[in-house]
Amino acid sequence: MRSEIGIDVAAPPELVFRLARDVERWPRLLPHYVAVTVEERRPDGSIVARMVARRSVVAALGLGLPVAWRSRTWSEPATRRLRFVHRGGATHGMDVTWRIEPAGDGCRVTIAHDFRPRLALWAPLLDRLFTRPIAGRTLATFRAIAEALADDGPPANPDPAADPAAGSGHSTDERP
């Protein structure tokens, strides 16, 4: 099963890419991400990480179900793509591609999920109950951050991966 979710962002695509590519910072940027734990750093620049997010159940009360998966991830700066291949959990085998493309005065961010589990009926259920809600919240939060930064003018250091104080400084810039 293939599904896509997207959002328009009134900010430069390069800014959105720089914010989103450092998945190790996601728990500090995205309130629904509980943890991203790097398990392996590969010579090709990719990482294998355990990711934990909360799927909102009762948003007004801040209640959510924890959802966890392992993913091999890397970024492709030349095309502003982020790639994730799930290596464990209920979404094992899911191939995820983020596309960040210029559009109007900003950009369009699209997340494509390609998931072909052994039990085909599992994919639409998982997409509706977990994948889309988490991806939608992720996109909305990155839009809010990028648009706030774009409204304030360029930040002193718009590249969070280059700021050691802002996180690990590690960026997965090469496609394996």
Output the pTM of the full model. 0.81
Beta strands in 42-123 (DSSP E): 47-58, 63-76, 81-86, 95-103, 106-114
Residue 3: per-residue pLDDT? 95
Residue 72: per-residue pLDDT? 97
% of the chain residues with pLDDT over 70 = 82
pLDDT tens, 135-146?
999 999 999 999
Residue 62: per-residue pLDDT? 55
Radius of gyration (C-alpha) of the chain in whole angstroms:
16
Residue 158: per-residue pLDDT? 45
Interacting residues of 88 by C-beta distance below 8 A, sequence separation 6+? 69, 70
Q: Which of 42, 109, 111, 41 is nearest to 83 (CA)?
A: 111
Residue 54: per-residue pLDDT? 86
Residue 89: per-residue pLDDT? 79
Residue 151: per-residue pLDDT? 85
State the residue for tokens 């990155």.
142
Walk me through the domains of the chain, giving residue ranges and CATH numbers: 2-32+73-152 (3.30.530.20)
Q: Which long-range contacts (CB under 8 A, 24 or more apart) does 74-80 make?
A: 74/44, 74/45, 74/46, 74/47, 74/172, 74/173, 74/174, 74/175, 74/176, 75/17, 75/21, 75/171, 75/172, 75/173, 76/173, 76/175, 77/17, 77/21, 77/173, 80/13, 80/14, 80/16, 80/17
Residue segments in the chain with a per-residue pLDDT below the cut of 70: 57-63, 153-176
Residue 163: per-residue pLDDT? 38
Q: Are 47 and 41 in contact (CB under 8 A)?
A: yes
